[in-house]
């Protein structure tokens, strides 16, 4: 069955029709299906299209590729995000080169109010690992979405640290979702699907060719509020991503390293040339991005209302809420084991507390108080 999604995917396969042209066409004709049924003469007169692109649209015949991709999407529970969809990452729409479509497998909110990209070298030092883990731990209370490229090294450390601290984390891939590169990250990737997600602009059967990685890097930079470079040499993907983030007018931060350490030479270079703000702790980033103010205002507004709601809670609901005084985030299994309530009972209690706006569910069956 040929539905709107079918024609949206078909539009992404038409040569010379990128995000700009796709948006123009959708805005003018209302749907992708209508675009393919519109007469050539009308398409030619559409601003930014012309006779060549109109001919390519009307002459498109690779619908078998669209059918194949649709079957793959449905079988693997992948969510295509077209640039006109409400779930499409809104930060990318402010970039000059957003992907026309993204393929997403996961449960994290890509439009989280706080999104941070963490990047660095594959050949990291013990210093780089320690800095990454401490930095992510310092972001735990912000609820930020942690984005990286799922590469060996700093990327993987950042993803794992996010999971450990109860933060959602999304890996941006340089290939289709039918494979995983590097294969060593298969285990963490599977965990990320339930505690964040995997995202790519490449359809299935696309291999991780060398030229796909800079393309991937622009999504890492564009989908985030800020990019943090942990450790990197003077050349490589991290420097490219930092440059892209600067080009998108996003904040770039870098941790300094020893002046004679080649693994930190790229960070020191970015700081020295005013292409990154020197960073030594997560609290500095939180303050720089103004998150302290929004967190404080939110807490000030919520506390009186929450206290009134707390007074009206059932005994079992109060018991669960009191458990969060000892730990900021807790897994549903831990809550059940500690409280003594059955799995079914704890699920009902947690649902009621969410409805009363006292708790929020996080990826991976984690919960935290509002």
Domain boundary among 25, 59, 75: 75
Q: Which domain holds residue 38?
A: 4-75
In a shared domain, residues 213 and 243:
yes
Whether the model clears a pTM of 0.75, i.e. scores above it, the answer is yes
Looking at the structure, do residues 160 and 307 belong to the same domain, yes or no? no
pLDDT digits (tens, 9 = 90+) for 173-210: 999 999 999 899 999 999 999 999 999 999 998 998 88
How far apart are the C-alpha atoms of 232 and 227, rounded to whole Å?
Answer: 13
| CATH number of the domain bearing residue 21 | 1.10.150.20
pLDDT at 327: 60
In the prediction, which pLDDT does 309 show? 52
Q: Check whether residue 36 and residue 151 sit in a common domain.
A: no
Last residue of a domain, one of 57, 75, 93: 75
Same domain, 131 and 187: yes
pLDDT score at 239: 96
pLDDT of residue 355: 84
pLDDT at 112: 93
Task: Report if residue 301 sits inside a domain.
Answer: yes
User: Domain check: are 299 and 278 in the same one?
Assistant: no
Q: What is the pLDDT of residue 294?
A: 55
pLDDT at 324: 76
160 in a structural domain: yes
Are residues 248 and 351 located together in one domain of the fold? no
Q: Are residues 249 and 148 in the same domain?
A: yes
Same domain flag for 44 and 185: no
- 279 and 316 share one domain: no
Q: Give the domain-ending residue among 288, 310, 330.
A: 288
CATH number at residue 198: 3.40.50.450
Shared domain check, 249 and 180: yes
What's the pLDDT at 220?
Answer: 98
* Residues 123 and 161 reside in one and the same domain: yes
* Positions in the chain whose pLDDT score sits under 70: 1, 293-311, 325-328, 363
Residue 89 lies in a domain: no
Residues 258 and 114 in one domain: yes
Q: Is residue 85 part of a domain?
A: no
Q: Residue 231: beta bridge partners?
A: none
Domains of the chain: total: 3
For position 236, what pLDDT does the model report? 86
């Amino acid at each position: 069955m040929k539905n709107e999604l079918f024609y949206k995917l078909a539009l992404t396969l038409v040569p010379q029709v990128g995000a700009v042209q796709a948006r123009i066409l959708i805005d003018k004709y209302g749907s992708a299906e209508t675009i393919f049924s519109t007469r050539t003469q009308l398409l030619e007169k559409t601003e930014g299209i012309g006779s060549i692109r109109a001919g390519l649209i009307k002459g498109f015949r690779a619908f078998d590729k669209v059918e194949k991709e649709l079957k793959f999407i449905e079988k693997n529970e992948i969510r295509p995000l077209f640039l006109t969809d409400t779930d499409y990452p809104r930060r990318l729409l402010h970039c000059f080169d957003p992907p026309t479509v993204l393929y997403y497998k996961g449960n994290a909110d890509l439009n989280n109010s706080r999104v941070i990209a963490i990047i660095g070298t594959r050949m990291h030092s013990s210093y780089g690992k320690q800095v990454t883990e401490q930095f992510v731990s310092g972001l735990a209370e912000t609820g930020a979405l942690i984005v990286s490229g799922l590469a060996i090294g700093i990327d993987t450390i950042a993803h794992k640290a996010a999971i450990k601290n109860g933060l959602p984390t999304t890996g941006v891939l340089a290939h289709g979702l039918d494979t995983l590169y590097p294969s060593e990250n298969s285990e963490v990737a599977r965990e990320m699907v339930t505690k964040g997600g995997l995202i790519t602009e490449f359809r299935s059967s696309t291999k991780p060719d060398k030229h796909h990685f800079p393309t991937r890097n622009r999504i890492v930079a564009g989908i985030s509020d800020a990019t943090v470079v942990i450790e990197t040499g003077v050349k490589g993907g991290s420097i490219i991503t930092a440059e892209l983030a600067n080009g998108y007018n996003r904040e770039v931060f870098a941790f300094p390293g020893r002046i004679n350490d080649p693994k930190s030479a790229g960070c020191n270079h970015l700081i020295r040339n005013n292409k990154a703000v020197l960073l030594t702790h997560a609290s500095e980033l939180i303050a720089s991005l103004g998150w302290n103010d929004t967190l404080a205002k939110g807490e000030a507004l919520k506390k009186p209302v929450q206290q009134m709601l707390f007074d009206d809670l059932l005994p079992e609901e109060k018991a669960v809420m009191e458990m969060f005084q000892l730990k900021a985030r807790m897994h549903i299994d831990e809550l059940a084991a500690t409280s003594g309530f059955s799995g079914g009972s704890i699920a009902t209690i947690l649902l009621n507390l969410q409805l009363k706006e006292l708790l929020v569910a996080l990826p991976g069956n984690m919960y935290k108080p509002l």
